[in-house]
Structure 1
Amino acid sequence: MTVSETSRPNRLPWPPMLLTLAALASIGLGVVAPLTVPRAQAVVLIGYAIAGLGLAVDLWAILTMRRARTNILPHRAADRLVTWGPFRFSRNPIYLANAWLLIGIGTAFGNGWFIVFALLSAVAVDRLAIRREERHLAIKFGNDWIEYSSKTPRWLIR
């Protein structure tokens, strides 16, 4: 365990960087090597619904963190352990919502690369951010973190 793990989980804000990279790669590959998703009206509507759900959960989680007066930046130290709102269902609702947003965009606009990169970026966020954040939270909040993490899944299901 390093000193930086006790003061902050990461040096770089990996999650927004990976989200941006995933979106840009999806757009670029969609132009040069399309990976199409069916464009039936029902599929498009489902895509919009998934993207909308992602945006709604994202906003809910951000507002919950703001109300708790805690840091929202993934490369800065946590001020408080937030366990209510969307954090009752997932320890990482923002990252989950980001994946839903990418999947929804890909489904709505017929670009399968968004779906591929949503899954790849979720794995990368798990490895580069979430695991480090969890170590940081365990150090900072001790038994409160242990109790919370034992009851609440990292993503949505165990």
Structure 2
Amino acid sequence: MSASDGRTDGNGGDPRGGPRETAGVVAPPPVIFSVPLLLGLLANRRLGLGFVPEGLRKPVGFPLLAGGLGLGLWFFREMRAADTPVDPYRPVSRLVTSGPFRYTRNPAYLALLANYLGVSVLKNSLPPLLLLPLVLYAMNRGVVEREEAYLREKFGEEYEAYLAQVPRWL
């Protein structure tokens, strides 16, 4: 099996050590965020573990949610303008460094994080926050590190220069 026939070693690379076709992420990032969020919200229905004073739920939760949605839309717009796929299971065509990518290498994941926090605050649900370290670990190890290795391999010095200028998160 070779990378040219679409099969990989599970990490996006050719099983014999050839170039990667994709980053080989462990799961779609929206799934990594949404499953623990939903499980935490369901757990909270039984446990009732609130953490936000009633008067702060909306003033904190809605800006987080709006910021996450706005950042996510900005991310999609830049990816579309660059004519490169958003799907981590498809090969990227170019390195995007404009728009939100000028400030963070992972605007989509920051958007998902803001949405996760916004929903948790609005629902006054502590269990999703208790699951958040696992979500961030899964994202870092199973998505971000794999994407960075893929982009480093694909874009070389151009990506190295970008890494030196833009932080991973903020």
The CA distance in 2 between the partners of 1:51 and 1:126, in whole Å, is: 22
- For the pair shown, the structure with the greater C-alpha radius of gyration is 2
Question: Structure 1, unaligned stretches of length 5 or more?
Answer: none
The CA distance in 1 between the partners of 2:79 and 2:62, in whole Å, is: 26
TM-score (norm 1): 0.89
Going by fraction, where is helix more abundant, 1 or 2?
1
Q: In the alignment, which of 59, 65, 78 is matched to residue 51 of structure 1? A: 65
Kept in 1: contact 2:37–2:116 (CA 8 A): yes
Count of aligned residue pairs for this structure pair: 156
**Structure 2: which amino acid aligns with 1:36?**
G
Partner residue of 1:3?
A: 14
Q: In the alignment, which of 126, 131, 145 is matched to residue 140 of structure 2? A: 126
Structure 1, 37-46 or 96-105: larger mean CA deviation: 37-46
**Offset of residue 11 of structure 1:** 5.7
1:58-87 per-residue CA deviation (whole Å, 9 max, x = no partner) reads 111011101110010122221110001001
- RMSD across aligned C-alpha pairs, in angstroms? 1.8
Q: SS where residue 3 of structure 1 aligns?
A: coil
Q: In the alignment, which of 123, 133, 155 is matched to residue 109 of structure 1? A: 123
Alignment of 1:69-80 (within 5 A): 69-80=83-94
TM-score (norm 2): 0.84
Partner residue of 1:61?
A: 75
Partner residue of 1:19?
A: 33
The CA distance in 2 between the partners of 1:125 and 1:146, in whole Å, is: 21
The CA distance in 1 between the partners of 2:136 and 2:64, in whole Å, is: 16
**How much identity, in percent, do the aligned residues show?**
29
**Offset of residue 114 of structure 1:** 2.9
Q: SS where residue 34 of structure 2 aligns?
A: helix
**Offset of residue 27 of structure 1:** 1.7
1:78-120 per-residue CA deviation (whole Å, 9 max, x = no partner) reads 1110001001111001001101111111112211223333443
Q: 1:62 to 1:116 in 2, by over 3 A?
A: farther
Partner residue of 1:83?
A: 97
Partner residue of 1:97?
A: 111
Q: In the alignment, which of 56, 70, 73 is matched to residue 42 of structure 1? A: 56
